[in-house]
Amino acid sequence: MASLKTAKIFDHATRVTLKGMKESVEVPASCCGTWAWGDKRSWGYEESRDLPGIKEVWGQLNKAKLGFYDTAEGYGNNENERIMGRLLKDTPESDKKDIIIATKWIPAPTFFGRWWPVGMVGALKNSLERLGVEQVDLYQVHIPVFWFYSIENIAKQLAECVNLGLTKTVGVSNYNKEQMIQMHDALAKYGVPLASNQIEFNLLRRVPESSGLLAACHERGIVPLAYSPLGMGRLS
């Protein structure tokens, strides 16, 4: 769920702008999180049981022009992106042009499916191959881990991904206020906007609001993407 700077009742036509260096992306106010797709360890995914429902959701969202999907190389150890790639392949071109894809990178030299140091550009190219596309709309850093790369180094790699045309916009995920501002400033040196920060935000977890993170987002034109808006079902 994308947070707006001013209060507004979301409707079918509501769009939020993810700022990019070369081009920005207009996205629906609601995004479909896909963590459970293909993830056997965390969610007990079973293809025969779960894939038909996934296909139904995919079709309905695309038909309604609300096809904004968030995936990651870490979801189901690459399987999530592969499932989305197969869905995209079977989608009519008339619907495919309106689909918006966001994916994420684990900030480590190696990860499942990339056992050698290929860097962020190599990791994104692997994701693009699994998805079957030449470019994603939003590429995000999955978690604020700086054991292997500094914020400055990550910013440089994100900018390279943009300059190579592999992604339209870039963002972070789970960054606190201070980390987000540092990334925003580091990217600015390359002329690349920080488009978003994907954070857990709901009525049970209001830290982004009380910590000043949301205010910092709005001051800088960064879109807060709220995951688990219903507290993983606890608020439903």
Going residue by residue through the chain, which has 236 residues, state the pLDDT in tens, using 9 for 90 and above: 555 566 667 777 889 999 999 999 999 999 999 999 999 999 999 999 999 999 999 999 999 999 999 999 999 999 999 999 999 999 998 889 999 999 999 999 999 888 887 899 999 999 999 999 999 999 999 999 999 999 999 999 999 999 999 999 999 999 999 999 999 999 999 999 999 999 999 888 799 999 999 999 999 999 999 988 776 667 67
Cα angle 57, 58, 59 (rounded to 5 degrees) comes to: 90
Where do we find the tokens 């596309």?
A: 133
Residue 137 has a pLDDT of: 98
Q: Where are the domains of the chain?
A: 15-233
Catalytic residues: 75
Residue 62 has a pLDDT of: 95
Residue 1 has a pLDDT of: 56
Residue 52 has a pLDDT of: 97
- Alpha carbon distances (Å) from 71 to 79, 157, 170, 174, 214: 10, 20, 14, 15, 23
The hierarchical CATH code for the domain 15-233 is: 3.20.20.100
| Concatenated DSSP letters of the chain | -BPPSS-----TT-EEEEP-SS--EEEES--EE-TTTT-HHHH---HHHHHHHHHHHHHHHHHTT--EEE--TTTTTTHHHHHHHHHHHTS-HHHHTT-EEEEEE-SSS-BTTB-S--HHHHHHHHHHHHHT-S-EEEEEE-S---SS--HHHHHHHHHHHHHTTSEEEEEEES--HHHHHHHHHHHHTTT----EEEEE-BTTB-HHHHTTHHHHHHHHTPEEEEE-TTGGGTT-
**Residue 64 tokens, joined:** 């309604």
- Do 197 and 180 touch, CB atoms closer than 8 A? yes
Residue 231 has a pLDDT of: 61
Angle formed by the axes of helices 213-220 and 177-188, nearest 10°: 20
Residue 3 has a pLDDT of: 55
Measured between alpha carbons, how far is 143 from 106 in angstroms, rounded to an integer?
A: 7
Residue type, 113: G
Residue 210 has a pLDDT of: 93
**Residue 111 tokens, joined:** 């990860």
Residue 118 has a pLDDT of: 85
